[in-house]
Amino acid sequence: MRGYYADAGFDGERILRGGVLVVVDGGRIAGVQTGRFDLPAGVPVTRLPGSTVLPGLIDAHVHLCGDGGPDALARVRDQGPQERVRVVRAALADHVRAGVTTVRDLGDHHWTVADRAAAGPRDGEPRLVVSGPPITSPGGHCWSMGGQAHGRGELAAAVRERADRRVDVVKVMVSGGSMTAGSNLLALQYATPDLTEVVRLAHGAGLPVTAHAHSVESVRVCLAAGVDGIEHCTCMTERGLEPPESLFGDLAAAGVAVCPTIGRSPGSAPSAQAAALMAGTNYTVEGRLAQVGRMAAAGVRLISGSDAGIHPGKPHGILPWSVVELVTAGVAPAAALASATSAAADACGLSATTGRLRPGLAADLLVLPGDPTADITALTRPQRVVLRGREIALPGADRAALSSEQRPGSS
């Protein structure tokens, strides 16, 4: 047993002030208290002056098989199984060093990540939530990942295979995507009846469904079919970012978890695909952030996911910048932090496991300098990461001000 005592905390939903003590016993949180405390004799306490402790972050949309280089998703199909495993290991290390203790992989290649998850958690690696290869139309977006299916029979077989392999979520590509050559981002890959059947079968197997959707039409199909989550949800038309405002109200009313996958390396150039999109429409980064802000104002349930691994602007470990961009878009800092902790845990089926500072949950902790609700960029400067009760070495982290083996004042 040991304690971590910070000036403040964020419990996954609200800020805690006046001193926060998180007691860890093995891999679990044993207690969370505010103020000044007594602990049993012999329990070591790490004092964290000037810092805030919060739950480890959850990146709800990653591509662990992508190495973050140019055209990463296209190049994966030329990699052998051993090379894909090497890329996945390196990606997981980058995530945990950024304070991410859970990742949801939504772009597996031929079950590489799902097989790794089935083998059980490895020391020092984030928790895995997996979809397996996304279900997509023949030749459709991300077809090379191995999830092509057409017609009711093939779609049913695809859902059964994912249930048999014990995935955590079924992902379906409802629209095309810009990262696949020949795919049209606005094209509809599955109509409402087929997607409704996928949702029915997945729910019958106890699995949620999240859907990749860029166009307004594909978002409406997702709502009609009753999916649990929508990835990107860019709400594009042929003219660009011009969705009807009523669509945001529909998303809010449905309670669907929307992962807008914003966030990129500061100063990075747009990918070639994004540059082509901006040249042909009124799409801009600023316009997209304004749109996400309107979603939040309408009450849409937002979670954070980075789309890490797909190109140089989206390296693994970029999630903190996704949260920063939510605040730039107008989301309140506490709500933005929740989008990568408690809200993401709820959407990923992990509310009984992680995402909050709560006794009984996993001891996944992140320590930041200062107050992230006053300066959200503190998320990009992690001081300590605790993963299932074990501290992770953070090269270059500023720990000089962190004094170990001290005790908080007595009450």
Q: What is the dihedral of CA 107, 376, 292, 268, to 10 degrees?
A: -60
Q: What is the per-residue pLDDT for 397?
A: 64
The domain tally of the chain equals 2
- Reported as a single tens digit per residue, the pLDDT across 197-229 is 999 999 999 999 999 999 999 999 999 999 999
pLDDT over threshold 50, residue 407: no
Distance CA 66, CA 57 (A): 20
Pair (276, 366) in one structural domain = no
Q: In angstroms, what is the C-alpha Rg of the chain?
A: 21
User: Residue 400: pLDDT band by 50, 70, 90 thresholds?
Assistant: very low
- Reported as a single tens digit per residue, the pLDDT across 310-341 is 999 999 999 999 999 999 999 999 999 999 99
Pair (245, 132) in one structural domain = yes
Show the domain range for 364: 2-55+356-392
H or E element, residue 117: helix 112-118
Q: Which two tokens stand for residue 361?
A: 């949950």
Q: Which two tokens stand for residue 51?
A: 């810092």
- Reported as a single tens digit per residue, the pLDDT across 115-161 is 999 999 999 999 999 999 999 999 999 999 999 999 999 999 999 99
Distance CA 255, CA 258 (A): 9
What is the mean pLDDT of the segment spanning 12-36? 95
Pair (104, 87) in one structural domain = yes
pTM of full prediction above 0.85: yes
Kindly report the average pLDDT of the chain as a whole number: 93
- In the block, tokens 């959407």 appear at 347
- Reported as a single tens digit per residue, the pLDDT across 64-117 is 999 999 989 889 988 999 999 999 999 999 999 999 999 999 999 999 999 999
406 lies in a domain?
A: no
Pair (160, 215) in one structural domain = yes
Q: What is the per-residue pLDDT for 38?
A: 72
Q: Which two tokens stand for residue 54?
A: 């919060």
Distance CA 199, CA 227 (A): 6
CATH (domain of 17): 2.30.40.10
Distance CA 113, CA 128 (A): 8
Pair (50, 90) in one structural domain = no
CATH (domain of 240): 3.20.20.140
Beta-carbon contacts of residue 13 (< 8 Å; ≥ 6 apart): 334, 338, 342, 356
- In the block, tokens 């954070």 appear at 304
- Reported as a single tens digit per residue, the pLDDT across 155-196 is 999 999 999 999 999 999 999 998 888 888 899 999 999 999
